[in-house]
Each structure stands twice: as C-alpha cells, then as structure tokens.
Amino acid sequence: MIKIIKDVDLFEHFSEYEAVLIGTGTYCTMSQGIQLKVMLNYPYVFNKNLETKYGDKEKLGTILECKEDKEPTFCLCFIYEGNFRPDIIKDYLSYESLEKCLKLVNILYKGKKIATTLLGSSRFDGNGDGDKIMEMFNNILTDVDITVYDYFQKSRAEEMKEVRDNELAVKKVDRKAYYEMVSERKRKADERFNKNGHRRY
C-alpha cells in the first residue's frame, strides 16, 4: 500500500516508521535537502556511508541499512552517481539503479511500515521525472506499507535564509523574543555539533 503526503517535510516524522529510505549518491556527501538533515542529526548514518568506497559505481542500485539503538532505522539507496554539470544535465537519476533499490526494499522490508521522499525526484538526489518515479513505486513496492512524502526539499542556504528572515521579522516587533529565537537556534546548533562532531549547520 502506498500513501502520499504532499508538502510535509519527512524529517519531522522519522520516529513513526520502522525504516526510512534516503536517496543518495556514490560520493558520500549527503550535503543538501533531507540527506543533510540526516547527516547532521543522525551521525551513525553518515559514518556508515563513509565506510563505503568513495565514488564507487558498484554501489549504484544497492542499499545500505543504518541502525543504532533507540534511533530511527535508515536505508540509504544509491540511485545516482553525481552531476558535475547541472547546467547541461538536468535529469541525472539512474532509473535502473532506482529500480534495483526498490526491488530490494520490497523484499527486505516486506510487511514493514516505511517512509520515503519521492526518491530521485529532488534536485539533490537525481532531479528525475516524478511521474515516472511514482509509476515505478506503484509497480514495484507491492509488499510494503509505504508513505511517500512528496515536497520541495530546500538547500542549506535556503533553509538558513528562511530561518534568518523569520528571526528578523520577529526582531521588528519584539527584540526579547528575537534574542530568545537566536539563542535557541544556536543551542540546537551546538547540540548537533556535539552529536556529529563536525558541523552545526
């Protein structure tokens, strides 16, 4: 069964599922969108990814389960190689790799309640054709209970600008509340840094 939720960020709902699928590439970066949020807040996923060979094309079409006690289970799906010329190559998703990953997921997570973005459709994980991807989901994911969070994933810069704009809007009407917002943002950033050991944002 496939359920689609539009315009809701999957990041807030990890704990509701037995596993979460994350589309990623072969270069171990996890630098934008949902991948970045996972990398910053769940370092065991990034560390597991770093154990794989950098840039290895053999990873395409494979999956990597990342688990830790009392934390969400993630399944990295290697569905694109990379795109060094986005000005020329718009769709860089490997549909063959996505198909292989989905078939593995359908077997390994049979009967499980899992969640995912519309894998491969974001500009950060393939920029592929959403309709074609959804058709693949419907044809392949027949034995799992899957919820697809279909929304626009923001870049790190876009997220930071949105946060800063919100803070400045509050500053105009309530400076005390503004300073509290900034303090809370920095507290959470320090918490992330203490958790992952290398990045606040």
> Do residue 144 and residue 192 come from a single domain?
no
pLDDT in tens, 50-65: 999 999 999 999 999 9
Token pair belonging to 95:
């549909």
What per-residue confidence (pLDDT) applies to 82? 83
> Do residue 88 and residue 135 come from a single domain?
yes
Is 140 domain-assigned? yes
> Do residue 88 and residue 46 come from a single domain?
yes
> Do residue 186 and residue 99 come from a single domain?
no
CATH number at residue 76: 3.40.220.10
> Do residue 107 and residue 170 come from a single domain?
no
Is 68 domain-assigned? yes
Mean pLDDT of the chain: 97
pLDDT in tens, 25-36: 999 999 999 999
What per-residue confidence (pLDDT) applies to 26? 97
Is 162 domain-assigned? yes
Mean pLDDT of 153-178: 98
Number of domains in the chain: 2
> Do residue 168 and residue 131 come from a single domain?
no
Is 167 domain-assigned? yes
| Number of residues that make up the chain | 201
> Do residue 90 and residue 66 come from a single domain?
yes
Domain range holding 192?
A: 158-196
> Do residue 143 and residue 172 come from a single domain?
no
What per-residue confidence (pLDDT) applies to 66? 98
> Do residue 96 and residue 164 come from a single domain?
no
| pTM of the shown model | 0.95
Residue that has been written with the tokens 């399944």 in this structure: 75
> Do residue 140 and residue 172 come from a single domain?
no
pLDDT over 90 (residue 19)? yes
Any alpha helices (H) in the chain, and if so which ranges? 33-41, 43-50, 95-108, 130-140, 156-171, 175-196
Band (84; pLDDT cuts 50, 70, 90): confident
Cβ 196 vs Cβ 47: under 8 Å: no
Is 201 domain-assigned? no
| 45 backbone dihedrals φ, ψ, rounded to 5° | -70, -50
Residues 6+ apart with CB under 8 A from 152: 7
